[in-house]
């Protein structure tokens, strides 16, 4: 029961743990996985978009999760963001501000939808939102969900401002 755990596949113990390290480290202290996430987003959305990521290995069988922070040029309320995301193809908003009012990776297994929860204004920056996003990465590509959500928010929100 108290036998030491051997680290054979990962650099640290993965059981009952979270590891903020996926792939090799490269220049600037980021990992290749973090670099890929930034590069793919810039390629798909806009080369000038500012983005940072910390990719974390979490011991789940299926699912990708993201804690997303977005800063807009103009104010977008959490209610407006919820309304926009409810209309987004492939997205399901489950955002109740109560215990169990959000979706976790295990709850999206076998689903094609991207689930968005915990939508709230970010008080640390002007015009910021925070979101929790999960999906079954075996059903839908890892980076595709985040990119589709960001595209939708940018397109719909910017078109309202114009």
3-state SS of the chain is CCCCCCCCCCCCCCCCCCECCCCCECHHHCEHHHHHHHHHHHHHCCCCCCCCCCCCECCCCCCEEEEEEEECCCCCCHHHHHHHHHCCCCEEECCCCCCCCCCCHHHHCCCCCEEEEEEEEECCCCCEEEEEEEECCCCCCCCHHHHHHHHHHHHHHHHHHC
Query: Which residues of the chain does CATH 3.30.360.10 include?
Result: 63-161
pTM, two decimal places: 0.77
Q: What is the chain's mean pLDDT, rounded?
A: 89
Query: How confident is the model at residue 5, as a pLDDT?
Result: 74
Fold of the CATH domain 63-161: Dihydrodipicolinate Reductase; domain 2 (3.30.360)
Q: Is the pLDDT of residue 141 over 80?
A: no
């Amino acid at each position: 029961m108290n036998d030491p755990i051997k680290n054979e596949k990962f650099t640290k113990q993965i059981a009952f743990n979270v590891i903020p390290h996926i792939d090799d480290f490269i220049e600037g202290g980021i990992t290749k996985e973090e670099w890929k996430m930034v590069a793919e987003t810039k390629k798909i959305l806009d080369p000038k978009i500012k983005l940072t990521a910390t990719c974390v290995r979490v011991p789940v069988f299926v699912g990708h999760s993201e804690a997303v922070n977005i800063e807009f040029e103009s104010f977008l309320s959490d209610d407006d963001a919820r309304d926009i995301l409810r209309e987004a193809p492939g997205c399901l908003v489950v955002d109740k501000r109560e215990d169990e009012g959000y979706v976790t990776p295990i709850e999206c297994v076998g689903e094609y939808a991207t689930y968005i929860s915990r939508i709230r204004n970010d008080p640390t920056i002007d015009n910021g939102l925070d979101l929790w996003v999960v999906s079954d990465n075996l059903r839908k590509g890892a980076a595709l969900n985040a990119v589709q959500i960001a595209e939708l928010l940018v397109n719909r929100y910017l078109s309202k401002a114009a």
